[in-house]
Amino acid sequence: MKLVVGLGNPGKEYQNTRHNVGFMVLDELAGQLNVSFKLNKKLKSELVKTKDLILAKPQTYMNLSGEAVRAVADYYEVKVESDLVLVYDDLDLKLGSFKLTFAKGPKEHNGVLSVKKHLGTDRFWHLRVGVDNRPTGWSQAGADYVLSPFTKDELDVLNQVIQKVVERILDFRF
């Protein structure tokens, strides 16, 4: 059983922000699979289980995501190194791009750091979705920028890359 976790923050105020790209990807994936998320309070996540996949959206807020990821991985006895894909926003990548890497994430991302801390490893698949669309000389702190909403034009670009990311997940052989 493969576990695909999308990182984000619960709540409408975060819905279309850069930090919620992981949730956006999983929502699209669930839509294509014609399944719906259900809240599991014990596992601190919204979950969907199909024949081959477990989809999880932690409901702990980004900086505590590791608590939920660990709970879900333990409950379903997931082999983290081979069966976990963590999907999240990455300021090191330009908007419209993505990278699938093993045991290699961004320089700084509190959600990923929380997951690494709670799992005791970074040896899992990282599906990093680019969200950086800052002009040269932009002075807003990265932590504030990722909590800002996408513009309509940016959402158009993002929706195209989300389709590619979902295809990659569905085609991915762990």
Instruction: Kindly list the catalytic residues.
Output: 19
Q: How crowded is the C-beta side of 59, counted as CA atoms within 13 Å? A: 14
Distance CA 90, CA 88 (A): 7
Judge contact between 135 and 94, C-beta under 8 A: no
**Single-letter amino acid code for the residue at 20:** N
Distance CA 59, CA 5 (A): 11
List of residues 6+ apart from 174 with CB closer than 8 A: 2, 82, 83, 85, 125
Distance CA 173, CA 37 (A): 23
What does each C-alpha distance from 165 to 17, 68, 119 come to in angstroms? 18, 23, 24
Distance CA 37, CA 128 (A): 22
